[in-house]
Structure formats: structure tokens, C-alpha cells
Amino acid sequence: MKRQVAIVGGGPAGMMAAIRAAEVLGDGARVVLFDKNERLGRKIYLTGKGRCNLTNRRGWEEFSPHIHPNQGFLKSAFRAFSNEDLIRFFEEELGVPTVTLQGQRVYPASLVAGDVARSLERRVHELGVDIRYGTSVASLADLADFGAVVIATGGKSYPVTGSTGDGYRFAMEAGHTVTPVFPSETALLPQDYDPGLPGMEMKNVGLQLYVDRTMVESEQGDFNFTADGLESGIAYHLSRRAVWALYNGQQVDIVMDLKPALTEAQLVKRMQREEQAGGFWSREHFSASGTKARAAEPVAFLRRFLPEALIAPFLRAHPGLTIEKLPAALKSWPFHIVDYKGFDRAVVTAGGVSLKEIVPKTMASRLRPGLFFCGEVLDLDGDTGGYNLQIAFSTGAMAGANAAKYVLG
Ligand SMILES: Cc1cc2nc3c(=O)[nH]c(=O)nc-3n(C[C@H](O)[C@H](O)[C@H](O)COP(=O)(O)OP(=O)(O)OC[C@H]3O[C@@H](n4cnc5c(N)ncnc54)[C@H](O)[C@@H]3O)c2cc1C
């Protein structure tokens, strides 16, 4: 049996695999880690807006619904190296204190993503792993001298970081099925996107996703209107389903509820109360003679309900709006989605190496002995919130340990 383990890709999954393989072998020199870049974990530096949301602290029951398309596949790897294990690993083994912020998101206490990347890279060095920087593996056949091979090449998103989808080619070389890959956790562009919307930060709104006019998913929380469309937060969560539908030529619409805490009837009552109290009248709604105008304008109510900058785009989206139609309009502002931001800006790649051909308890290929897969190259992705890095770390740890056990026989 050949005694070395090759790991292709030095992202979070590959570095974790290298660490565990070196620990199991008790000899880091028997682990060779290839990365096409001159430093490891390049993508990590960009994560969490430079702060690196390295995991999410929720227990499995609440964690698992954020994993797609097959949360069950991750269960063994998560049990073997869970979010709490990962936090302990960073704090106790790597010396990186962590902090848990809103939504159970865990970050390095320094809020510097580089601290995560550098501490992992340092550990790989300390263990004596043979790191081949600036080396792009072209084919599985080039690794024939190794006893086991771990593919940790990531997906296709943010290709400038080195993740260019090479692992899909390696998987196919070994006879694996690769399910269609598409961008996820990405911006959704509406038709006739109003120029007044980019820059608006939406707090606690509802979004409902319709595919071919059927409501398929809904979320409540925050998101942003950016130059690229509806982005981050709950918009990202809907993007997986929305992009897949657009990819398949289906009609995609998103309906925004600006007042999700109130029913339409409650909104009507609140408007009536406001009207009786005269509270909504603004200076420009007094007539020239100084008496109150008789009919209230929607805009007077809107000032009570919406941020000023949102009023003009809202009115442009609802031409001819009357007071009577206002509650319904606040509850359902439709956006017809026509495009999405591609792999160059998507946070994650959905689709990948088919999970049916991978053993979930080892990350081993069912088709080729000695071949293992981990991280985003798999047909496994998570919502934003630390889920994707946990996938990389859990599956990486499992693949590395089992590749090492494999060469030990
Ligand atoms: C902007 C952005 C922000 C993100 N923020 C977060 C966050 O806060 N929390 C979170 O959980 N997730 C986040 N993610 C997602 C997360 O970064 C990825 O899911 C994770 O990095 C995947 O890890 P990986 O090791 O599988 O692949 P990658 O990190 O993509 O690493 C793959 C590595 O393989 C190397 N490689 C590829 N092909 C070859 C080859 N042929 N030869 C040699 N080397 C090769 C590449 O150079 C790269 O270093 C974010 C992603 C982006 C783009």
C-alpha cells in the first residue's frame, strides 16, 4: 500500500483534512497538500465581510434545516466534529478566541477573518505537512503515486480565490455523477429595478417567493437593496430556490410585505386611528387657505409607515395608489425577478459531486477506493450564517482522518 495522502485544495476543508490526516498518521510529512495559490485559505479572508462567520452555534435540530439539499448526509460528520467541537478546536488548539453574536453566529473574537485563515495554515505547518503552494493539480491521474486522495477544491463561486470547479472534473474522471451546479446565496435582480432602491436597508420585512405563481418559500427578517438587486439576509435564503427556478426557465416573483407583524385588517384600523388623531397630516397636506385638505393622500400615511427614501420608489411601483388600496400594497409589493448574480459574486455553489456516491460516515467514494471528497465540491451547501464553513470543517475532518486510516490499512 502506498503510504502518502494527497489533498487537493487548501481551503478550510482541505486544511482541516490535512490536519486530521497528519494527526492520524502521526507523521505530517506523509500528507501532501496542493493549492494553486501562494497562501492557503484565500477565500476565508473574504468571509463574513472580512470577519469570518466560522460556524453557527445552533444545535443540530435547528442547524440542519439550513443545510441543502440533503441535511441527513451531514449528520455523521457533524456529530463527529460539531460546531461546539470546532469552537473548542479554534480556542484550545489554535489559540483563536471566539465570540457568538446575533443569530448564534460565531466569529473570531478579533473579528478578523485573517486570524482564522492564518491559524489554520500555521497548524498545517506545525504538523509538518508537505505544502505545495502555487501548484494546480490538472488531473487525478497525476496523483497515482498516492495511497489516498482527498478532493477539497471547493465550488465555482468567487473564482478569483482559486475555486474554479476543477474538482467536478476530477470526480467525473473517477466516474462520479456531478449534479448541475448553480450560484446560491446571491443577489436577485428585479425587472425594471427602481434606481431609488439600491442602498436601502430593509429591516424586519417579509419576503415570499413564488415560482410559476405558486408560493414556495417565505422568510421574515432583514435584507438589502444593492446595485445588484435584492441581496443578503433573507433574500439570500430565497436565492437558492429562485436561481434554480430561473435556471429551469420558470417564472420567479418575490412579494415583499413591509408590515409583516400586522394583518391587512390591523393596518386598516391603525390608519383609521391615525386619521382620527390627525397624526398623519403633514404640512403640505394643508390647503392654501390653511384648512385641512379633505382627502388624505397616501403619502401622508406612508410617512408614518415607511422610511422617507422608500416612499418615492414605493409610489412609482404602485401608480394610481389610493388610500383604500394602501394596506394591501404595503402587505404585497411585487418584484418580478429576471436575473441573478453569477458565480463571480455568489457566496456559495449549489450542486456538485452527487451525495449518493459518497459514504457519509467516511466521505469515501463508493466508486473508487482511496478517493475522498469534502467541502463545497460536494452537492451540499448551507444558508449564510456560518453553515458553509461548518460543512467544510466537518466533512474535511472526516475525509482527512479516513484517508489516513485507509493508507494505514
Ligand atoms: C464572499 C464570501 C463570503 C463568505 N462568507 C462565509 C461566512 O461568513 N461563513 C460561512 O460559513 N461561509 C462563508 N462563505 C462560504 C465559504 O467560504 C465556502 O463555503 C468555503 O470556503 C468552502 O470551503 P472549501 O474548502 O470546500 O473550498 P474553498 O474555500 O473554495 O477552497 C478550495 C481551494 O482549492 C484550491 N484549488 C482548487 N482547484 C485546485 C487545483 N486544481 N489544484 C490545486 N488547488 C486547487 C483553491 O485554490 C482553494 O484554495 C463565503 C463565501 C464567499 C465567496
In DSSP notation, 160-208 reads: GGT--SHHHHHHHHTT--BPPPEEES--EEETT--TT-TTPEEEEEEEE
Query: Is the pLDDT confidence value at 324 over 90?
Result: no
How does pLDDT run across 231-256, given as a tens digit for each residue?
Answer: 999 999 999 999 999 999 999 999 99
How far is 360 from 134, CA to CA, in rounded Å? 31
pLDDT at 291: 43
Please provide the size of the chain in residues. Answer: 409
Query: Is the pLDDT confidence value at 218 over 80?
Result: yes
Domains by residue range for the chain, with CATH: 5-182+347-408 (3.50.50.60), 187-341 (no CATH)
**CB-CB neighbours of 285 under 10 Å:** 15
How does pLDDT run across 62-97, given as a tens digit for each residue?
Answer: 999 999 999 999 999 999 999 999 999 999 999 999
pLDDT at 386: 98
Nearest protein Cα to ligand 1, atom 8: 48
Read off φ and ψ for residue 155, nearest 5 degrees. Answer: -100, -140
Mutation test of ligand 1: which of 143, 163, 236 has the most ligand atoms closer than 8 Å to its C-beta?
163
User: Region 277-296: what's the mean pLDDT?
Assistant: 46
Mutation test of ligand 1: which of 86, 347, 384, 387 has the most ligand atoms closer than 8 Å to its C-beta?
347
How far is 112 from 215, CA to CA, in rounded Å? 39
User: Region 23-34: what's the mean pLDDT?
Assistant: 96
User: Region 38-65: what's the mean pLDDT?
Assistant: 98
Please list the alpha-helical segments (H only) found in 200-307.
233-247, 264-277, 298-305
Query: Is the pLDDT confidence value at 119 over 90?
Result: yes
Nearest protein Cα to ligand 1, atom 29: 11
pLDDT at 281: 43
How far is 5 from 399, CA to CA, in rounded Å? 11
Residue 278 confidence class, pLDDT cut points 50, 70, 90: low
How far is 16 from 394, CA to CA, in rounded Å? 8
Nearest protein Cα to ligand 1, atom 38: 153
How far is 348 from 338, CA to CA, in rounded Å? 20
Residue 272 confidence class, pLDDT cut points 50, 70, 90: confident
Query: Is the pLDDT confidence value at 283 over 60?
Result: no
User: Region 381-396: what's the mean pLDDT?
Assistant: 98
User: Region 225-232: what's the mean pLDDT?
Assistant: 97
User: Region 119-127: what's the mean pLDDT?
Assistant: 98
How far is 155 from 377, CA to CA, in rounded Å? 5
pLDDT at 264: 93
47 lines ligand 1 (CB under 6 A): yes
* CA 113 to ligand 1 center in whole angstroms: 13
How far is 143 from 132, CA to CA, in rounded Å? 13
pLDDT at 351: 98
How does pLDDT run across 329-348, given as a tens digit for each residue?
Answer: 999 999 999 999 999 999 99
Taking all residues of the chain, what is their mean pLDDT, rounded to a whole number?
94
331 lines ligand 1 (CB under 6 A): no
Query: Is the pLDDT confidence value at 58 over 90?
Result: yes
pTM (two decimals) = 0.93
pLDDT at 296: 56
